[in-house]
Amino acid sequence: MPRRLLEIADLQPDELRGILDTAAFFKKSSYRGQELAGKTLALLFEKPSLRTRTTLEVAALHLGGHAVYLDNRQVALGVREPVKDVALNLGRWVEGIAARVNKHEAVVELAEFSGIPVINALSDTHHPLQALADLLTLQERFGRLEGLRLAYVGDGNNVLASLLEAAALAGIEVTVSTPEGYEPPPALMERAGAQLVRDPMQAVRGADAVYTDVWVSMGQEEETQRRLRDFSGYTVTPEMMRIAGERAIFLHCLPAHYGEEVVEEVVYGPQSAVFDQAENRLHTAKAVLAGLIGGRPWSA
């Protein structure tokens, strides 16, 4: 079992399968356990959060543990003191760290020097906890993962990077539709066997799931006007969902910017699975914490 989860690529296929199976069991049984009894998780957050913070805190509580929230005003990674020093301190006090950071290098350094399990709760290049919830949602809706076709429409960001890594392990076919200049790294596309299609309407045709995310991520606010122009035509609409097909589901990691990457009618429409997806952030977080910090085997 790995001692860290910085990106989905840290996992083997059987470990990914085991996390999803454990999360499904936790959800079905409304599981409460003691895997984290007497243990503390540090939530080291440089960026604000609703879903990630809440689900990690509740997950720790459901497993008998405790979470300590440390925001950027209290810690200021690399400003108030070096990341290495923060890691060495936290490693003496707590049993695990979940870090939501501006730069991926910070979470790598935390893992290198803390000596305890570290979970990437979002960085500029990866969002593994979100990808786990995405796969659990797909598994629930379709009863399988291998052979599904997912169309991702929008920015080739950290959410897509983790989704591509997860798809590579799970056997999901991904079609990516982004404007020119917003593609994910070619090596990542190749590893996932993903196809790039510029026309979003063509990309979603016959897909099992249509996924999008915000066009302007945290830290990109100065690029807002340029991005809104560049992504014109990439809004997920009811028409786009009709082209995907009536059995297709809609996914979004939230928060949504209505009228930009998606219209509100789709999020609250009959094909939407976004709130199941958000709920599954809790169950997958519990599975990750139970394994990495609590030592519970992931049952594949």
- Please say if 130 is a catalytic residue: yes
Instruction: Check if 100 is active-site.
Output: yes
Q: What distance in Å separates the CA atoms of residue 79 and residue 111, rounded to the nearest whole number?
A: 19
Q: Is 4 a catalytic residue?
A: no
Among 100, 141, 252, 283, the one annotated catalytic: 100
Q: Is 227 a catalytic site residue?
A: no
Q: Which residue type is seen at 7?
A: E
Catalytic residue, chosen from 4, 17, 130, 208, is 130
Nearest to 166 by CA among 3, 4, 15: 15
Q: State the catalytic residue, choosing from 53, 104, 281, 296.
A: 281
Interatomic CA distance for residues 26 and 47, integer angstroms: 28
Q: Which helix (H) or strand (E) holds 15?
A: helix 13-29
281 among known catalytic residues? yes
Q: How many Cβ atoms from other residues are within 10 Å of residue 105's Cβ? A: 14
Query: Which one from 253, 271, 277, 296 is the annotated catalytic residue?
Result: 253
Tell me whether residue 242 is one of the annotated catalytic residues.
no
Catalytic residue, candidates 124, 213, 277, 296:
213
Using CA atoms of 190, 271, 153, 7 in order, give the dihedral in degrees to the nearest 10. Answer: -50
Q: Which of 51, 127, 141, 283 is catalytic?
A: 127
Tell me the CB-side half-sphere exposure of residue 37, using CA atoms within 13 A.
Answer: 5
**Catalytic site positions:** 100, 127, 130, 213, 253, 281
